[in-house]
Amino acid sequence: MIDGFKIADRMIGKNHSPFIIAEMSGNHNQSLDRALEIVEALAMSGAHALKIQTYTPETMTLDLDEREFHISDPNSLWAGTSLYKLYSEAYTPWEWHKPIFDRAHELGLIPFSTPFDDTAVDFLETLDVPCYKIASFENTDIPLIRRVVATGKPVIISTGMATVAELDETVRAAREAGCKDLILLKCTSTYPATADNTNILTIPHLRNLFDCEVGLSDHTMGVGVSVASVALGATVIEKHFTLNRADGGVDSAFSMEPAEMAQLVLETERAWQSLGQVSYGTTEAEIKSLQYRRSLYVVKDLKAGDVLTHDNVRAIRPGLGIATKYIDVVIGKTVKQNVTRGTAMSWAIL
């Protein structure tokens, strides 16, 4: 099994706290100033990485009126919108990438991106990104995956919608192209996703099946699903991020606000810390607590020769007397000396 690797200066793996990625997506609302504010708020939250997306409307789709170029699902956040219009609203202008990345570096964040075609990879290479993310909708785009792997950088792939056979083809292609550092993110490609449709028990199965790091690209609301995924072995968590959902934006409805991101960072680290190892018996931290177990105590003054009964011997705290399991052995015995109330029972006084 893999034992972890680095993205920039951050170790990824089960022996390290979860790597928290915040996805800006189109939540900049076509304002560079807002994009930079998002970077600053993210840094304050304690997250580790900022991810954006690198494409243009033209590299994603065609500006056509035909029905198949529109989002027809009435339950979609973007129902009725053409694909071209959606990507025109959501894309991050390429000339913004450097100032966004520069600000992220200044604040200690690890910035990178999701490319959607070769031109995006070529451009991102000029910015020396430390890794690449493949989106769920591109996880079967084998030529794109090969192009990304050719950079020699770690690759993160979301698994939304992909069958085991498709993931096997994707992982094989990545490894045959030379990918050494691979992360698969369990993902449900609905926006937002619901907890009951997330199936995070897949996470340890992914790890065992493909022998790589695993994580969660989480589109649910709140932190519960992400925290639970850490208990199942997730070493990377990705969540969408915005300044304020009320401000609107293409992905704002299922994005975290700064206080929520801070909670995610805190609670996923706590979840990771709690894993420890298989352990029974008294831990070092518990040693002082042993004295507060119940044990047998004399609860009435006794004279030499008195018989011990349930009326004068009881199981109480603290735990300095004979263990409570010996109550039936002790009852009926006599004491050989005077004993004052509150004396811990010992074999020596019988």
Q: What is the pLDDT of residue 191?
A: 87
* Residue-wise pLDDT tens digits, 38-74: 999 999 999 999 999 999 999 999 999 888 898 888 8
Domains of the chain from N-terminus onward: 10-55+91-275 (3.20.20.70), 284-349 (3.90.1210.10)
Distance CA 268, CA 273 (A): 9
80 vs 96, higher pLDDT: 96
Does 2 have pLDDT greater than 70?
A: no
Query: For a pLDDT cut of 90, what percent of the chain falls above it?
Result: 90
Q: Residues, the chain, total?
A: 350
pLDDT exceeds 90 at position 1: no
Residue 249 has pLDDT above 90, yes or no: no
Tokens, residue 271: 């979840």
Distances (CA, A) of 29 to 86, 190, 211, 234: 12, 21, 39, 31
Angstrom distance (rounded) from CA 168 to CA 190: 22
Report d(CA 63, CA 40) in Å as an integer. 35
Burial of 283 per CB tally in 10 Å (0-12, 13-18, 19+): exposed
